[in-house]
Amino acid sequence: MSEIVGLETWYYGILHADTGAGGVSTLVGDRIYTDEAPAGSAYPFVLISAQSNGIDVVSIGPHRVMVNTLYWIRVVGKGASKAALGPTYARIDTLLQAAGGVTSTIRVLMVNREQQPAIPPATVDGVRYVQLGGLYRAYVQAP
Q: Is the peptide bond before 44 cis (omega within 30 degrees of 0)?
A: yes
What's the pLDDT tens digit per position in 101-142?
999 999 999 999 999 998 999 999 999 999 999 999 999 998
Which band of pLDDT confidence, cut at 50, 70 and 90, is reported for residue 58?
confident
Asked whether the predicted pLDDT for residue 63 surpasses 90, the reply is no
The DSSP output letter for 38 is: P
Please tell me which of 60-64, 79-83, 119-123, 134-138 the model is most confident about, judged by mean pLDDT: 134-138
Mean pLDDT of 28-57: 93
Among candidate residues 11, 85, 99, the one with its CA nearest the CA of residue 44: 85
Confidence of residue 61 (pLDDT cuts 50, 70, 90): confident
Domains parsed from the chain with CATH numbers:
3-141 (3.30.2000)
Whole-number Å distance between alpha carbons of 77 and 80:
6
Q: How confident is the model at residue 143 (pLDDT cuts 50, 70, 90)?
A: confident
Q: How far apart are CA 90 and CA 82, in angstroms?
A: 12
pLDDT of the residue at 1 = 52
What are the residue ranges of helices labelled H in the chain?
Answer: 3-16, 24-28, 82-96
pLDDT(88) > 60: yes
Cα 138–134–141 angle (5° rounding)? 10
Q: What percentage of residues in the chain have a pLDDT greater than 90?
A: 80
Taking residues 85-90, report their average pLDDT: 96
